[in-house]
Structure 1
């Protein structure tokens, strides 16, 4: 009865105990309340944009648009799917989440009593002149249970547990950011490969045209109606085109190698047919929303805030180090000088040893630890604010580019058309003896340069739309309308469903990480389960200490 009363009292004291964490308040976003407007930002594309060819987002935000719906190219969709299954960097990110989950469970386990079963035998010889009744050999056998428990009166362990939980959630959000970045990187590299395909086509056509011009000028020179200067100029254009062809073939091969590295395996032969660069039809009218929306859409911002919450919890642990620590240890079992007497009546033995330790002199270590924890929190506040500023800048840059590329593409298309017509006219004037062959070569070179500028502008427009999709938080779900996965959910689409939430969970860990900080710590009971593999510690993720005591 006495032992049960002591345990009940300890549990009641633990439940009533407070933590010494400072009240968490989310820092104000160090950016303006709206994205820039007017000027280059005013002419944003809509469903009629040439980039999407009639496809529209219908007002859906980036996180609500699945990457299969954002990309229209079936070949690209298949490559993205393969990358999500095989990319090694993403695997490392997932394993980092597993490691953080294990570390959280290790820290959380300190809240519970540690109980061990033990059995021992000891044999001892005593000199005959010191022994009783001439017994120089003595034996002792014991079997029992040993228990120890630190009563967390001042929340030191709970603060460490909250710190580990926040670090776990930060790692999960970092994994989510890595997946979004992978989708964007694969698409960018695929589009780059298509751009080199177009450049190769243009270069081969230019080489074919220049070889024909060289053949004609050489023939004219051989017949005495042309000059050697014209021949050498034509020959120079041919060799330059051949060199450019080899350069672009090399870049095309290297672009495919980079894509294979991102995918994590060689590209299979049964990929579906792809679309050309100028017909990719990616969504171009995704609304940007407000900068404050980025706090819930961007996993890198959510990760930075979780790291800040971890630093805030660490202050509570540093403060608790100034206060006494109470530990209960005890044991219950049987004790006997013979093995056969272990379980006979009267062999029961127990011990109970409460201990309290009060810090008196630590050489300034506790004060320094508290100062360090407070400085680390200020560092994480600055990192959190910088992450928001960087996200704002990325979206603003993407909007500025999106507002200018359509008109730039149209102007370059007209420029290519004018240079093509100029080449025809220059060639006609040369054949009629009005201009020198230098005019033809100059027009040919200018047309080639204009075609390259057009291809590069198309590539930049598409990669900007892909990157803006990522910057706005898109790429986490596969299809529009899918339920967003928790940040630590499996990646293998179509084969591994997201793991079920832990017992008592009410919201996914990703929602807890991206939303407001938790308001209270749930009561710990013996029936509470540890988080299962593949699921976040959700009962803990939905509540967090917000004020001391």
Structure 2
């Protein structure tokens, strides 16, 4: 009696002996430090005290061309469609990871025909008591479930959810880059218009000077060479004016690529008159805000979280897996008896774990640990990339504003000098060479001032993107679609 009770216990101990040996080899996941990078308390090129502006004001939200092209891009841009598809792919992966934690239920039906050698059953087979051929009909419902006692599947689901966050942040980064490129292109278009106006004014001034030289030539008080030089100056302004068309073509082509619209639609949007170009003061910001505002930093942080969950899942592969399974169905040797007391079924529970895998699981853990270290390095790289972009953008705004002030003063001074030289020439107090040289200097300064103002406006778009961007009022509704 005692022997009978001890035998099942002996069998149970023998069954769990491999798992007990495997448990001796279990090791926790390696600890990998991922501290938050230390950032300075303020930017080196921080704006002066008292200046303030909203981040959205750095874009041209009041420009109808920007509003129209931004709305079109948010609705039709191929880059945004690709980013949205990547989010859907990540969501599908998370749904699959979540479904792996639930039971798997399947159904099947089958017809089987078996033929055996009846001689192997001796006399019973030779006398026909055992049929040589047999056909069975069956229908089953099967269910299996990994109990996930140690959380391997849960860790995999956590990694999949983190990848949704990474894909969403990357999509936001694509959107911000797209709006920044459109804003910069619209600013370039407006700057070309300002440069063209300056060149037209230069050509008109040169022609007026040529007419004056021609009048003096006809009066015999000036050589014809003066008129020719003035006309050459006007031709130089017109040639620079014609050269602007190539820049316009490049802007249109870039906007076609960005917005997914035709060139005619882009031209129609750019043809609308824009407001006077303004240069709002740069908004104050803290370097720590980059950790939450920058899409690339958020994506890197999400990828780091996913790699951490992957490492946990890899480490938990060392633990045993408990699987429950069951089958219930119908089995009969005659179709007419399939629903007549033919129910069959079974229920099973299994446990399995690594015993001697020659380092397979350990190699998986090492690979996951290396991936986490790489993800942390990528995260630190994204943080300092954001910090460097913001520092450079603030410095660029300060430098471009100083350039604008200098070029405007240069333009005004040279224009006054040209007017004085013209007045002295008309009064006979200066030679034509002095007038022509003063006019040539003034003509070049007007275009330079317009280009400098465009670079200053462009630097604000760079700052907007470096600080993480935000929805401009004109495209807020499109952002919610």
Preserved contact between residue 71 and residue 281 of structure 1 (Cα < 8 Å): no
In structure 2, the partner of 1:29 is 37
Give the secondary structure class of the aligned counterpart of 2:107.
Answer: strand
Preserved contact between residue 43 and residue 404 of structure 1 (Cα < 8 Å): no
In structure 2, the partner of 1:331 is 327
Structure 1 residues 469 and 148: alpha-carbon distance in aligned structure 2, compared to 1, 3 A threshold = same
In structure 1, the partner of 2:171 is 175
Structure 1 residues 188 and 21: alpha-carbon distance in aligned structure 2, compared to 1, 3 A threshold = farther
In structure 2, the partner of 1:412 is 407
Match of 1:465 among 443, 460, 474: 460
In structure 2, the partner of 1:284 is 281
Unaligned runs of 5+ in 1: 1-18, 48-55, 483-490, 497-549
Preserved contact between residue 331 and residue 352 of structure 1 (Cα < 8 Å): yes
Preserved contact between residue 77 and residue 260 of structure 2 (Cα < 8 Å): yes
Structure 1 residues 135 and 97: alpha-carbon distance in aligned structure 2, compared to 1, 3 A threshold = same
TM-score (norm 2): 0.82
Q: RMSD in angstroms over aligned alpha carbons?
A: 3.2
C-alpha distance in 2 between matches for 1:369 and 1:437: 84
5 Å matches for 1:422-437?
Answer: 422-432=417-427, 434-437=429-432
Structure 1 residues 268 and 148: alpha-carbon distance in aligned structure 2, compared to 1, 3 A threshold = farther
| TM-superposed deviation, 1:158 | 1.8
In structure 1, the partner of 2:374 is 379
Give the secondary structure class of the aligned counterpart of 2:167.
Answer: helix
In structure 2, the partner of 1:85 is 75
Structure 1 residues 203 and 115: alpha-carbon distance in aligned structure 2, compared to 1, 3 A threshold = same
In structure 2, the partner of 1:456 is 451
C-alpha distance in 2 between matches for 1:402 and 1:238: 34
Residue range with higher mean Cα deviation, 265-274 or 423-432:
265-274
Unaligned runs of 5+ in 2: 1-26
Match of 1:306 among 278, 302, 306: 302
Residue range with higher mean Cα deviation, 168-177 or 24-33:
24-33
In structure 2, the partner of 1:504 is none
| TM-superposed deviation, 1:140 | 1.0
1:421 correspondence with 2:416 = yes
Give the secondary structure class of the aligned counterpart of 2:340.
Answer: coil
5 Å matches for 1:107-146?
Answer: 107-126=97-116, 132-133=128-129, 135-146=131-142
Count of aligned positions:
446
| TM-superposed deviation, 1:145 | 0.8
Structure 1 residues 400 and 82: alpha-carbon distance in aligned structure 2, compared to 1, 3 A threshold = same
| TM-superposed deviation, 1:97 | 0.5
5 Å matches for 1:130-529?
Answer: 132-133=128-129, 135-217=131-213, 225-227=221-223, 230-231=226-227, 233-265=229-261, 266-267=265-266, 269=268, 273-276=272-275, 279-281=276-278, 283-284=280-281, 286-288=283-285, 290-345=286-341, 347-432=342-427, 434-476=429-471, 478=473, 492=478, 496=481
Preserved contact between residue 407 and residue 449 of structure 2 (Cα < 8 Å): yes
Preserved contact between residue 32 and residue 369 of structure 2 (Cα < 8 Å): no
Structure 1 residues 306 and 229: alpha-carbon distance in aligned structure 2, compared to 1, 3 A threshold = same
Preserved contact between residue 67 and residue 476 of structure 1 (Cα < 8 Å): no
Residue range with higher mean Cα deviation, 430-439 or 316-325:
430-439
Structure 1 residues 129 and 342: alpha-carbon distance in aligned structure 2, compared to 1, 3 A threshold = same
C-alpha distance in 1 between matches for 2:335 and 2:28: 50
Structure 1 residues 98 and 456: alpha-carbon distance in aligned structure 2, compared to 1, 3 A threshold = same
In structure 1, the partner of 2:16 is none
C-alpha distance in 1 between matches for 2:369 and 2:447: 55
Which structure's residues are more often helix, by fraction? 2
